[in-house]
Chains A and B, each alone.
Chain A
Amino acid sequence: MTGGARPADRPLDLAAALAESGVDELLATLDAELVGLAPVKRRIREIAALLLVEKLRLQVGLSAGPPSLHMSFTGNPGTGKTTIALRMAEILHRLGYVRKGHLVAVTRDDLVGQFIGHTAPRTKEVVKRAMGGVLFIDEAYFLYRPENERDYGQEAIEILLQVMENDRDDLVVILAGYKDRMDRFFASNPGMSSRIAHHVDFPDYGQDELYAIAGLMLEKMQYRLSDDARTALGEYIERRRARPSFANARSIRNALDRARLRHADRLFGAAGEPLSREALMTIEASDIRASRVFSEAAATAEESTP
């Protein structure tokens, strides 16, 4: 913008600011590439709106200071916490909140030292590396070990608290972990909980969402499903969801990896015949139905009806 300050009474063009920032485009890709996660997307949209409005307010001389954007992501395994965190750095960079937009992903090992006096420099070094970007602490509850009162994790937490308070404009801290354990972590570290403005809960995926995720994964891996396989996959997801060790999208990815194995094995078994591009791409129903999920379900069904 050239020229001096904008006259205070001139209306500001929100639409133009929106177009200029490229936020719309960003949210559209997010919608296209990530299935479900409605509350998460809503929160991202809110943050985007806030940052945009803050920019406009600044133009007319209103300032509330940069908002605190530290976040905690909680949810069951495989609900996309890490994936979103990776995206978050890019999103915040595009919105002009963080200067560099890189992500430093760490776990307890990178923060906590092995002997007295080792933790503080280690944590500070990680924090320095994350400046201008996002510090992502995966499975943050491991930092706090109540069963060992001399654990050095507490020291790392204290340094993080200080950084989250004092260097808010230099970096964004995202903590991630499973819901119940994170809740316990926050209960025992109330200072941490209150310094985090955004507690985002990742919901489990529904049947249709999982199916859509499988579709996206296959597309990315350049496979396709035959019509029978489509129904088989639907049934597979239904049965897999009922099992205790179900880990949402991660289970789906593993299932698809195993289907690829069987697909390759089937092609090998049929050696001699010329292979078409089609055959190399297509996963058949038999590749999916060979899964343990189906055979075990059949076995229990037989047991219950002798």
Chain B
Amino acid sequence: MRLTQGTFSFLPDLSDDQISNQIEYCLENGWAVSIEYTDDPHPRNTYWEMFGNPMFDLRDAAGVMKEVSAARTTFPNHYIKVNAFDATRGVESLRLSFIVNRPDPEPGFGLVRQEVDGRAIRYTLRAYATDQPEGERYQ
């Protein structure tokens, strides 16, 4: 099951040129680009691990692309996303965030039913990947 989080996630995977162009757009707008990775794809897992520091004062996408490829080499079977943070006063939040690397079989999520008081049912999601401990998922 394809993970659909962030911008462009319903499109086919972006090529490196397309990623580079998106980053170029972010830098033109003066947003700080950063790279994050995780192997826990739960939709409420908002805080992924940072791959290096956020990159400030960049002018050209080549610098970010180098980091992206470094991240892909280090974590070939993790989810990796590129974030663009807009520091403008009053905005101060992410403007763009898209996945640039995903593990090959994506097992997806299972529905968990929990019976609670009065036989009511609560539903929740569980990523199959998280059955394994951290670092051993998506081998």
Contact = CB atoms under 8 A, between A and B. Distances in A.
Interface stretch (A28-36, A129-137, A226-234, A249-257): A129-137
B62 A129 contact: no
A208 interface: no
A131 B59 contact: yes
A99 B63 contact: no
Contacts of B58: 128-129, 131
B62 A131 contact: yes
Interface string B48-83: 000011010111111110110000000000000000
A102 B55 contact: no
B53 A102 contact: no
A171 B61 CA distance: 12
Contact of A170 (B53, B55, B62): B62
Contacts of B52: 121
Nearest to A169: B62
- Interface extent on A, as a size class? 10 to 19
A100 B58 CA distance: 11
A125 B61 CA distance: 13
14 contacts: A99-B62, A102-B59, A121-B53, A125-B53, A125-B55, A128-B58, A128-B64, A128-B66, A131-B59, A131-B63, A131-B66, A132-B60, A132-B62, A170-B60
Nearest to A100: B59
Nearest to B64: A128
Given A121-B52, A128-B66, 18 more contacts: A99-B62, A100-B60, A125-B53, A127-B63, A128-B58, A128-B64, A128-B67, A129-B57, A129-B59, A129-B63, A131-B59, A131-B66, A132-B59, A132-B61, A132-B63, A133-B60, A167-B66, A171-B62
